[in-house]
Structure 1
C-alpha cells in the first residue's frame, strides 16, 4: 500500500455559480474539473477544494476552517474588501502560533482563513 497522492476538501454550497465566482474569481483558484454539481479548484500543487451543490438544506459549521496559505495577507485583505467579501478578522499577527492571518466568509458562510506562517512549512 502506498501513501496518498492528493488532498481534496469538499464543501456543500447552495449556489455553485456564486461559489465558483468566489473561489475562481475573487480568490483566483484554477478550475480543474467541472462535474456539473461539483467543481474542483486547485489551491496549490496537489491540494484541491471542491464545491458541490447541497441536496438538502445545511448550515455552515464553524468547526471547519478553509485555510489558504499565502505571503501577502494585507494584500489579500484589500482584495477581499474590494470584492465586498465579509471580513471577520482583519490581518492580525498571532505570535503564539507564529502566523499572520485574516478570516473572511465565503458566500455560503464558511470561514476562510488566509494565513502566512512566519517560517514556511516543509
Structure 2
C-alpha cells in the first residue's frame, strides 16, 4: 500500500494543562492567538496558516500534565525586537535575554507559559534560515 498523496490539512501540537482557563487567557490575551476550533475541553489556536497549538484539559486528554516539559513551541515573527519589548513589558516568566545563533540564522528569546511550557519567539537573520 502506498502513502496517501493528498496534502495535509493542518498541524496541531497539543499541550496538557491543569488550569485550562488560565492557559487560554495567556494564549489569547498575551500571545494573541485566535481560537480556531473549540472542542470544549480542548481549545485549538491558530499560530499561522496550517499551524496550531491545542490546549487540553489534562483530566480529559490522551496524556496527562507533567512538571517536566521537554518540548518547546517556536513562533517565527517578522520583528523579534518588538516582541521582546512586549515580553519585557509583560514581565513574562523565565524571560531570557535576546540572543543570536549564527549557525541557525536566528535572533530569538524564550519564556514560559503559565504551566511551564517554553515558548521561543524568533526572526531569521539571513535568507533561507
TM-score, normalised via structure 2 length? 0.84
- 1:73 corresponds to which of 80, 84, 99: 80
Q: Distance in 1 between matches of 2:21 and 2:92?
A: 16
Provide the secondary structure at the position in 2 that maps to 1:77. Answer: helix
* 1:4/1:57 CA distance change after superposition, 3 Å: closer
For structure 2, the residue ranges without an aligned partner over 5 or more in a row are none
Q: Tell me the residue number matched to 1:3.
A: 7
1:90 matches 2:61: no
Structure of greater Rg: 2
Answer whether contact 1:30 1:41 (CA < 8 A) is retained.
Answer: yes
Counterpart position of 2:18: 14
Q: Secondary structure at the match of 1:49?
A: strand
**CA-to-aligned-CA distance 1:28-51 (integer Å, 9 cap, x gap):** 111112212110100001111100
**CA offsets 1:81-106 (integer angstroms, 9 cap, x no match):** 22231144221111121100001000
Structure number with the higher strand fraction is: 1
Work out whether 1:58 is the aligned partner of 2:62: no
TM-score by length of 1: 0.89
Question: Can you give the 5+ residue segments of structure 1 that lack an aligned partner in the other structure?
Answer: none
Match of 1:108 among 98, 112, 115: 115
Where does structure 1 differ by over 6 angstroms across 4 or more consecutive aligned residues? Answer: none
On the 8 A contact 2:13/2:54 being kept in 1, the answer is yes
Deviates most, 33-42 or 73-82: 73-82
